[in-house]
Amino acid sequence: MKVDRRIFLKTLAFAGGGSLGFLSSPAPWHIVRDLARWTQNWPWVPVPPHGQPAYEKAICMMCDGGCGIKVRKVGPRMVRIDGDKDHPLNRGLICPHGTAALQTVYGPSRIRQPLKRTGTREKPDWKPVSWEQAIGEVAAKIQEIRAAGESHRIVCITNNCESTVNQLLERFLQAVGSKNLVRMNSGRDVRNVALKLMQGVDGDMAYDIENAKLIASFGCSLLEGWGTWGRLYRSYARTFADNPVQIIQVEPNLSITASKATQWVPIKPGTEGALALGIAHVLIRERLHDEDFVEKHCFGFEDWEDSSGKGHSGFKSHVLAQYAPQAVERITTVPAKEIEKLAFKFAENMPAVAVGGKGDGQLFTNVYELMAIHSLNALMGNINKTGGVFVKPEVPLTPLPPVVMDEEAARGYAVDRLDGAGSAAHPFSKSLPGNLKADEIRMLFVHDSNPYYAMPEQNTAHELFEKAPFIVALSCCMNESAARADLILPLNTGLEKWDDQIVAPDSPHPIYNLSRPLVEPLYDNKDAGGVLIEIAKTLGGTIAESFPWASMGEVLEMRVQGIHETGRGMIASPDAMAMLDRGLGPEGSLSQQYPSFASLWKKLLEDNCWFDPEPHHGPLQKALLTPSKKFEFYSQRLKDAFGFEEDAACMPHYEEASLNKDGFDLVIMAEDTLTMADDGKDTPPFLMKQLSDNVLKGNELFVRINPITALYHDLEEGDRVIVESPRGKVEVRLHLFEGVREGVVLIPLGFGHSAYDEFLRDKGVNANEVLEAKTDTITGLPIWWATPGKITKV
Amino acid sequence: MRVISQKRMNSAIMVAIFLAGFVVFHFIGRYFVPMLAYTRHEQPVDFSHVFHGNDVDMSCETCHFFYEDGSWSGIPTLDVCMNCHSEQLGESEAEKVFVTEYVQKNREVQWELYFRQPQCVSFSHSSHVKEAKLACETCHGPQGLSRHPTKYIVNRITKYSYVVYDSASSTIGSALVRSPEENVWGTMGMDECAKCHRARGVSTACFICHK
């Protein structure tokens, strides 16, 4: 049809009228409104389902700190975590990891069913298998190794928690015929050795920081992961209270703890032990120490003669001769006057505790450093005293029944540990994963830990996972270690499983945390305890006899009966805690409050925590089990074990850390941060989002140096550099920060994962790639707090 | 007879065409577009509020109640229904469908929800019912008097839903558009919320609803 002018005009008139007509109707305005509302209901935006809300108490299992949490649930789904105000340790405070813990439950790196590797360890393919097949294969492998008389070559690397699961693992290995339950090292290990050497006790140090007036921290990251975060943050909060505590932070760099402490004492890296001895010098010289305690309960303070009549110099003359403030100033760079002041401050604010173990406790210079720090506690008589240092008390759980062993089990169990812990070379250590050798292992279990990533002895770890003939990972997430296993037995996460924490680190009170499933397991996963019971039953014989229980819940119920039988302590219920806060005890003893075990068990399932506000530490003699039955400034055990001729070698003394190496002009130090999980576990995405652009930008990690260091090396903010050590090199970027000591390169731990989910994988570099782990001659533990390094611009 | 000039005639035709366009599109905008924009769904189960409330003499709180923490239960889940309906009660077809299709299969009824606010709005039943003492009917209409589920009418674009209690209302969309405050209740828009807040002297600051 030909469109002439008339038709065009008519069309125009119709269109014009139509437009006006449409505009005069409500439709266009409603469409605009509807489009705006449509943006609020986009179907691709996930909406949490509705359901019945509920709060349930639980235990945070993100670390072994033992904080109590309150989980908000909507229907069957957990939606939020808060601190539990009624938990005696953290009283409502929790760290960011605890807050973000739900992301590990619902996160994408969970393993959803048992998996069998089909590809190579470097490029694995996974085939889902049934639990029956997975457990059958593990049992068959164990049978094969036992038949070959090599059960002592079965090794299990596990986490460092004090838990019934770890006891069951130990029991399982014993029933099979192996002593090799190897715990990942933690900050407690070196403190345990110091305690063993000076007090003769096999156990953990416990600090009564709640009642201390002063906490002298020699490099401990008190607010960044040392001990129980919730508990230590409460101590920090007390610095503002009516009855305040002072925190003195001795540390080379301005960490979060240092920035929040009452006083920060910057110090030359690795010389914390010398400063402790300098303080001891002033205390002794000015007779500020507890002379009565030292005289009655200490050995090796004054000069002494042994049974053969040979004279030995005592701690007093050793310290007075060598650690005068001026001499210590030359070592530590802390002014002599400041050392004097620190000593007076320490003595005036009794009770005070001196705590050691840099970072989260694992970063120590040598065992003498810890001995030097602990000697301050003894000098002031603060052993087994309110506000001082205790030996951590036992929780009165029913012990597991004796293990039934067959002939092969007895043979294998008699063979020494493969990691050399407890041997003549390292008599005081209990676990040394860094000493494991792949060619001595026939089967390796890895339980709830990530040695491939987290072991400071990275070469050993990598060799283990390359060469160990058969690796079984018990893990809830696909971490670096699980990714290199032959078989993965997937575990429930902390909020889906039966588990417990037998003691909380560093607390002088006996505390028992019971963890029960808050939700049905999301996937076809099991509890570690349950898996062990099933493997034992499949193996049959004496191994099955050693595991008579049906489930992990049953094991825990049996153990808690021990608490009921003692009738001591209280359940951390809101009522009981309110009474305690008012200075009143619980209404009646535990047996009066809960006459039947069933009532106690029910209450414990609700409130998750039993503890004893009156710790019953007993007489001082129970905490002094050395050969002299005294606190030993001169450790006779050390002398007996290593035959040191020099007196100083058996006493706390300062040894210079060897950080000088040709061609390396800087010191690379590991930095423990609160945000990042540095034990190989995953850091939840919420926390990754907290990192500022000068910590991680894109996938690039920043190391921090002092602007003066940068000036000398012609470097600027944001430069891309190679940080190199004798161990290796990594490419990172630079952030200049005046709080870092000159000559130090501060590299944060917890980055550079090659496993887990997209939020964590390939973010930055693993600091362990440049930090060189040396072995402490006495403890056998890795020393990796610092390493020589250099920086070159890319 | 007056002779109309060709020119005038043409002008009149143009005006007529213009008016025709106006009327047609105004009609489309007023009646046809709402018909397209809104759709009706049937509720999956024929539920009678009157029967439960009057004949069985249950109180509203049996199914609709506040949890301990003050949050609102909303529409009951199958567990609540199963307190009475674990087995078939009576012979009605609706009951038979409910028991065989949902109770016996332990399948939640996917009720179409009339009043859900979008995620950007933080709405608390507690503060409106307990603090402001609003009657349920103020927002939900006489839902409690329904013998059969009222038709679920939803806007295709927004997913906002409406209830028309006036059964004579034939053109759904137009009813919604024409008389929203008379016989139509539904997902509250910001205007309705703000209007009520203003009338009662309650703050209309953004953060009151958008946390």
Q: pLDDT grade, residue B119 (50/70/90)?
A: confident
Cα separation of A399 and A401, whole Å? 6
Task: Tell which residue, A393, A390, A361, has the closest CA to residue A207.
Answer: A390
Pick the residue with more confidence: B140 or A495?
A: A495
In this structure, are strands A263-265 and A298-299 parallel, antiparallel, or unpaired? Answer: unpaired
Interchain CB distance below 8 Å, A53 and B67: yes
- Asked whether the predicted pLDDT for residue A494 surpasses 80, the reply is yes
Q: What is the pLDDT of residue A53?
A: 87
Interface mutation target, options B7, B14, B154, B193, chain A, most CBs of A under 10 Å: B14
Calculate how close chain B gets to A97, using CA atoms only, in Å: 25
Contact A16 B13 (CB under 8 A): no
**Nearest chain B residue to A51, by CA:** B73
Question: How close does chain B come to A9, measured CA to CA in Å?
Answer: 8
Count structural domains, chain B: 1
B30 touches chain A (CB under 8 A): yes
| Per-residue confidence band for A412, with pLDDT thresholds at 50, 70 and 90 | very high
| Residue B4: inside a domain | no
Which of A522, A468, A467, A472 is closest to A494 using CA atoms? Answer: A522
Q: Do A25 and B30 touch (CB under 8 A)?
A: yes
Alpha-carbon A123 to chain mean position? 30
Which regions of A428-501 does DSSP assign to beta strands (E)?
443-447, 471-475, 487-490, 499-501
A728-752 average pLDDT score: 95
Q: Tell me: pLDDT of A566 over 60.
A: yes
Q: State CA A709 to chain mean position distance.
A: 32
Contact state of B155 with A28 under an 8 Å Cβ cutoff: no
- DSSP SS3 for A495: coil
A21-35, A544-558, A771-785: the lowest-pLDDT one: A21-35
Per-residue pLDDT band at A239 (split at 50, 70, 90): confident
**pLDDT tens-digit readout, A114-162:** 999 998 888 889 999 999 999 999 999 999 999 999 999 999 999 999 9
What was the pLDDT predicted at B164? Answer: 65
A24 three-state secondary structure? helix
pLDDT for position B117: 86
Report the 10 Å Cβ neighbour count for A106.
Answer: 12
Mean pLDDT of chain A: 92
Task: Measure Cα distances from B17 to A704, B4, B7, B11 in Å.
Answer: 78, 18, 15, 10
Are residues A34 and B23, on separate chains, in Cβ contact within 8 Å?
Answer: no
Size of interface A-B (CB pairs under 8 A): 110
The verdict on residue B192 lying in a domain is yes
| Region A498-515 average pLDDT | 90
CA distances from residue A7 to A20, A782, B6, B14 in whole angstroms, order as listed: 20, 93, 16, 10
What is the Cα Rg of chain A in Å? 30
* Partner residue facing A17 (CB), from B13, B18, B189: B18
d(C-alpha A649, C-alpha A738), whole Å: 37
| Cα angle for residues A506, A512, A517 (degrees, 5° grid) | 125
For A5-41, give one letter per residue: b (16+ CB within 10 A) or e. eeeeebeebbeebbebbbeebbbeebeebbeebbeeb
* Residue A734, both tokens: 């630079």
Give me the amino acid identity at B192. E
CB A389 within 8 A of CB A207: yes
**Do the Cβ atoms of B29 and A41 come within 8 Å?**
no
**B99 within a domain of the structure (yes/no):** no
A24 has a chain B CB within 8 A of its CB = yes
A224 burial (CB, 10 Å; 0-12 / 13-18 / 19+) is: buried
Q: Do B17 and A27 touch (CB under 8 A)?
A: no
Q: Would you give the end-to-end CA distance of chain B in angstroms?
A: 74
pLDDT at B166: 55
Q: Read off the tokens for A626.
A: 């050395």
Hey, which residues does A244 pair with through a beta bridge?
Answer: none
Does residue A391 surpass a pLDDT of 70?
yes
CB of A156 within 8 A of CB of A180?
A: yes
Whether residue A37 and residue B27 make contact (CB cut-off 8 A), yes or no, is: no
**CB distance A53–B69 less than 8 Å?**
yes
Q: Which of A73-82, A690-699, B31-40 has the lowest mean pLDDT?
A: B31-40
pLDDT digits (tens, 9 = 90+) for A457-472: 999 999 999 999 999 9
Render pLDDT for A334-390 as a digit per residue (tens, 0 to 9): 999 999 999 999 999 989 999 999 998 999 999 999 999 999 999 999 999 999 999
pLDDT digits (tens, 9 = 90+) for B15-30: 999 999 999 999 998 8
Mean predicted lDDT score pLDDT of chain B = 84
Does residue B52 belong to any structural domain of this protein? yes
The sign one gets for the Cα dihedral A279, A285, A289, A291 is positive
- Within 8 A by CB and 6+ apart from A472, the residues are A138, A443, A444, A445, A446, A485, A486, A487, A488, A489
Confidence of residue B188 (pLDDT cuts 50, 70, 90): confident
Measured distance CA(B54)–CA(B50) in Å, rounded: 5
Position B148 in a domain: yes
> Hey, is A63 helix, strand or coil?
coil
Structure-block tokens of residue B127: 């503060």
What does the buried/exposed string (b/e) look like for A380-399 if buried means 16 or more CB atoms within 10 Å of the residue's CB? bbbbbbebbbbbbbebbbee
Which sign does the torsion angle of CA A280, A283, A286, A289 carry?
negative
DSSP letter at A719 equals -
B177 touching A, CB under 8 A?
yes
Find chain A residues with C-beta within 8 A of B33's C-beta.
25, 27, 30-31
Cβ-contact B142, B136 below 8 angstroms = no
For residue A101, which amino acid is it? A
Asked if the structure places residue B62 within a domain, the reply is yes
pLDDT, tens digit, for every residue of A596-647?
999 999 999 999 999 988 876 788 888 999 999 999 999 999 999 998 988 9
Is the CB of B20 less than 8 angstroms away from the CB of A53?
A: no
pLDDT of the residue at B182: 59
Rounded Cα–Cα distance for residues A14 and B176 (Å) = 29
- Domain with B116 in it: 40-72+112-209
CA-nearest of A653, A632, A649 to A299 is A632
pLDDT at A435: 93
Say what the pLDDT of residue B170 is: 45
Beta carbons of B22 and A24 less than 8 Å apart: yes
Alpha-carbon distance of A293 to A381, in angstroms, equals 5
Q: Give the pLDDT score at B171.
A: 47
Give the pLDDT confidence score for residue A784 in this predicted structure.
Answer: 93
Buried b or exposed e, range A107-123, using 16+ CB within 10 angstroms: bebbbeebbbbeeeeee
Predicted pLDDT at A44: 87
pLDDT tops 80 at residue B173:
no
Judged by DSSP in three states, A292 sits in helix
Q: Is residue B5 part of a domain?
A: no
pLDDT tens figures, A680-697: 999 999 999 999 999 999
- Contact (CB, 8 A) for B63 and B80: yes
* Predicted pLDDT at B175: 57
Contact A31 B33 (CB under 8 A): yes
For residue A451, is the peptide bond before it cis, meaning its omega torsion is within 30 degrees of 0? no
Report percent pLDDT > 70 for chain B. Answer: 89
Minimal Cβ distance to A18: which of B14, B25, B120: B25
- Whether the pLDDT of residue A251 is over 70: the answer is yes
In the predicted model, what is the mean pLDDT of residues A514-533?
A: 94
Residues 646-685 of chain A whose Cβ lies under 8 A from any Cβ of chain B: none
CA pair distance A717, A697, nearest whole angstrom: 13
Please say if the pLDDT value at position B174 is more than 70: no
Chain A interface includes B28 (CB < 8 A): yes
pLDDT recorded at residue B41: 83
Report the alpha-carbon distance of residue A628 to residue A644 in Å, rounded: 18
Interface probe, candidates A14, A19, A23, chain B, greatest B C-beta count within 10 A: A14
B8 in a structural domain = no
pLDDT exceeds 70 at position B177: no
